Chain A
Amino acid sequence: NAGVTQTPKFRILKIGQSMTLQCTQDMNHNYMYWYRQDPGMGLKLIYYSVGAGITDKGEVPNGYNVSRSTTEDFPLRLELAAPSQTSVYFCASSARQTKNSPLHFGNGTRLTVT
Chain B
Amino acid sequence: GESVGLHLPTLSVQEGDNSIINCAYSNSASDYFIWYKQESGKGPQFIIDIRSNMDKRQGQRVTVLLNKTVKHLSLQIAATQPGDSAVYFCAESTGGGNKLTFGTGTQLKVEL
| A interface with B by C-beta (< 8 Å) | 4, 31, 35, 40-45, 48, 50, 56, 58-59, 90, 92, 97-100, 102-108
Instruction: Give residues of chain B (8-43) contacting chain A, Cβ–Cβ below 8 Å.
Output: 31-32, 34, 41-43
Closest to B5 in A: A42
Q: Report whether over half of chain B's contact residues are helix, strand or loop; otherwise say mixed.
A: strand
29 cross-chain CB contacts under 8 A: A40-B104, A42-B89, A42-B103, A43-B44, A43-B91, A43-B100, A43-B102, A44-B102, A45-B99, A48-B99, A50-B98, A59-B99, A90-B43, A92-B43, A97-B96, A98-B32, A98-B93, A98-B97, A99-B93, A100-B97, A102-B34, A103-B34, A103-B44, A104-B46, A105-B44, A105-B45, A107-B41, A107-B43, A108-B43
Q: How many A-B residue pairs have CB under 8 A?
A: 66
